[in-house]
Amino acid sequence: MNKSNGLIARELADSEQRVRVGALLRLVRDPQSGLQPGVLAALIECLGSSDKIVQRSAASALAAIAATNPEVTNALCEAIESREARTRWAAVYTLGLMRGALELKVLPALIEALGNADGDVRWAASELVVRLGREYPREVRRDLLALAANGNPNGCKMALYCLRDLKFADDEVRSQAYLASAAPADHVRMAAMSLLANLADGNAQSADILLRCLEEDRHEGVRRAAASALGRLNHRSERVLSALRRALELDGDPSLNRAAQRALARLEVS
């Protein structure tokens, strides 16, 4: 190892963020430096950092190096099996940056990341799940339904949004949305509203669920989401129209009034 590359490997292990990030940025600019012994292993270590800037910079460096070093993919696949959740997630994220590297074997780590306490991780993981779901719809749908049912509110919410974005619209998906519409967590119920709205199938049972949430839910955000969802569901019964008209006239929640007005306009015009 020459002096320059030995320096990069040492800097990647430095305790100061400034030093580590500087070395990572040099690797992004000059991926050939990452071909030297010691650098790849140090980069994988950086993926497990609790410092997001270091972690993301390491992902960018590894993605750049992967273009000329096939060992990167193998190292990342090994990192997916790490005992550390941060490392597992960062390895999958890095594979997502590399053309054609996102394969079905990363699905368990992605499903795990959907339930992460960190919102940035959850939303980044959801984008990768949707990408993977377009290639492997059966497997991804199966694991998303399992996650939605497992009781983790963050995971359930994100699973519902992924099911929505992948446009899964079968009876099992609809049933999971019905269950989630009565979940204790407000954000889970709002995700259920969004999923039902995007089914846009005019289903009467879906309309009943949304009407219940519009008229009875304790959280104003859920009530507004239910009103908006009713406008997109395409169920034009008199009961739905009457409930939206009542919501339009309610005092104390201008946002709900506007949501009901938009929903009525959509249903009455279409």
Q: What is the pLDDT of residues 50-91, one digit of tens each?
A: 999 999 999 999 999 998 888 999 999 999 999 999 999 999
CA gyration radius for the chain? 23
Structure tokens at 152: 């983790």
List, for residues 189-217, the tens digit of each pLDDT value.
999 999 999 988 889 999 999 999 999 99
Looking at residue 30, what is its pLDDT?
86
How far apart, in whole angstroms, are the C-alpha atoms of residue 47 and residue 86? 7
Is 157 inside any structural domain?
no
Looking at residue 173, what is its pLDDT?
95
Is 22 inside any structural domain?
yes
Q: Which long-range contacts (C-beta less than 8 Å, at least 24 apart) are formed by 45-52?
A: 45/12, 45/13, 46/12, 46/20, 47/79, 47/86, 47/87, 47/90, 47/91, 47/94, 48/82, 48/84, 48/86, 48/87, 48/90, 49/20, 49/86, 50/86, 51/17, 51/20, 52/120
CATH code for the domain in which residue 232 is found: 1.25.10.10
How far apart, in whole angstroms, are the C-alpha atoms of residue 2 and residue 14? 19
Is 229 inside any structural domain?
yes
How far apart, in whole angstroms, are the C-alpha atoms of residue 129 and residue 163? 10
Among the three residues 51, 86, 121, which one is the final residue of a domain in this structure?
Answer: 86
Is 259 inside any structural domain?
yes
Looking at residue 257, what is its pLDDT?
96
Q: Which residues contact 210 (CB under 8 A, 6 or more apart)?
A: 181, 193, 196, 226, 229, 230, 233
CATH code for the domain in which residue 2 is found: 1.25.10
Question: Are the C-beta atoms of residues 32 and 64 closer than 8 Å to each other?
Answer: no
- The closest alpha carbon to 155, from 187, 131, 132, belongs to 187
Whose tokens are 């305790």? That residue is: 15
Is 42 inside any structural domain?
yes
Mean of the per-residue pLDDT values for the chain? 92
Is 101 inside any structural domain?
no
Looking at residue 7, what is its pLDDT?
83
Among the three residues 63, 86, 109, which one is the final residue of a domain in this structure?
Answer: 86
| Count of domains forming the chain | 2
What is the average pLDDT across 124-130?
A: 97
Is 47 inside any structural domain?
yes
How far apart, in whole angstroms, are the C-alpha atoms of residue 95 and residue 102? 6
Q: How would residue 269 be classed by pLDDT, with cut points 50, 70 and 90?
A: confident
Looking at residue 31, what is its pLDDT?
86
Domain residues for the domain of 38 are 1-86
List, for residues 139-174, the tens digit of each pLDDT value.
999 999 999 998 799 999 999 999 999 999 899 999
Tell me the one-letter amino acid at 90: A
Q: How would residue 270 be classed by pLDDT, with cut points 50, 70 and 90?
A: low
Looking at residue 34, what is its pLDDT?
66
Length of the chain: 270
Among the three residues 86, 105, 137, which one is the final residue of a domain in this structure?
Answer: 86
Is 107 inside any structural domain?
no
Looking at residue 1, what is its pLDDT?
42
64-91 b/e with 16+ CB inside 10 Å = b?
bbbeebeebbebbbebbebeeebbbbbb
Residue 3 pLDDT > 70: no
What is the average pLDDT across 239-253?
A: 93
Looking at residue 2, what is its pLDDT?
45
